[in-house]
Amino acid sequence: MSSQMLNEHTFAPAGVPSARTDVAASTMTLNGTIVKSLVLLGLTVLSGAYGWRVGLDWFSASSGGLWWLIGYFLLIGLSIAAASNPDLALPAGLLYAVLMGFWMGAVSRVYETVYDGIVTQALLASVCVFLACLVLYTVRAVRVTPKLARGIITATFGILIMYLVAWIMSLFDVDLLLFTEPTTTGIVISIAICLVAAFNLFLDFAVVERGVEQRAPATMEWYAALGLLSTLVWLYAEVLRLLALLRSRQ
């Protein structure tokens, strides 16, 4: 998601709201982006707490699967809408945070029921990965070159296609065992996906920095915040699944 929202063309003249032509308009800042990211993250956590509380009942209900599917496609629609029109980033970001928070909270509760303590482990691992990526980017140990950016985006879309194929196959009661089972292949694929999600953070940091340098409109702070949130949620979800595979194997 974030590689679609935050790419090298994000802050090009055609990719920003018309307010950019107004010299008096406020511009994007790093502090503003951080604040808006924290707002979305806080809203996600609050919604996640509610999802955690009702998660088991929700999934056990006969209509739970249907609502899960509807919510999943709604989240995709919100992501596409925000990616294609930055002016929608604020309402789309708030709705995305509420829905995704509830969804991840409910899913996390199910995982926690099966694997005691796994949610705490996944949260801690995700925070550590985020901080490590931020430090590496800040000290310029990792430089986001055009070649690296293209590689990250290509890998991300490749994973998206794999998700789509797996979902289509599941409609015909066919499971991609190499992807869902705690085999060596499944675990290696899961680790690879986690690495791609982590590398998306470097891409996010780079484009946010570029937006600040190019004095993009302040409205782009919400756009960037939504991109960062989507990457963090994806990273957490993949770390959670990886830990589940490892513990299943034990």
Give percent of the chain above pLDDT 70. 77
Query: Cβ distance 103 to 44 under 8 Å?
Result: no
Query: Cβ distance 56 to 245 under 8 Å?
Result: no
pLDDT tops 90 at residue 235: yes
Calculate the alpha carbon distances from 183 to 5, 161, 176, 216, 245 in Å.
Answer: 33, 21, 12, 46, 8
Better pLDDT: 165 or 62? 165
Distance from C-alpha of 163 to C-alpha of 180, rounded to nearest angstrom: 11
Between 5-14, 78-87, 96-105, 182-191, the lowest mean confidence (pLDDT) is in 5-14
User: Average pLDDT, whole number, for the chain?
Assistant: 82
Q: How confident is the model at residue 112 (pLDDT cuts 50, 70, 90)?
A: very high
Distance from C-alpha of 36 to C-alpha of 42, rounded to nearest angstrom: 10
Query: Cβ distance 204 to 2 under 8 Å?
Result: yes
- Phi-psi bin for 215: left (phi > 0), alpha (psi -120 to 50), beta? left
Amino acid 89: pLDDT: 82
From 153, 128, 152, select the one nearest 142 (Cα to Cα).
Answer: 152
Chain centre distance of CA 184: 25
| pLDDT tens for each residue of 45-102 | 999 999 999 877 766 654 445 565 666 666 667 767 766 677 788 888 898 899 889 9
Give percent of the chain above pLDDT 90. 45
Helix, strand, coil distribution of the chain in percent, nearest 5? 80, 0, 20
Q: How confident is the model at residue 23 (pLDDT cuts 50, 70, 90)?
A: very low
Phi, psi of 115 (to 5 degrees): -125, 95
pTM, two decimals, is: 0.84
Amino acid 139: pLDDT: 93
Distance from C-alpha of 222 to C-alpha of 225, rounded to nearest angstrom: 5
Distance from C-alpha of 110 to C-alpha of 100, rounded to nearest angstrom: 15
* Average pLDDT for 151-175: 83
Residue by residue, DSSP assigns 13-29 as GGGS-GGGG-TTS-B--
Distance from C-alpha of 8 to C-alpha of 20, rounded to nearest angstrom: 17
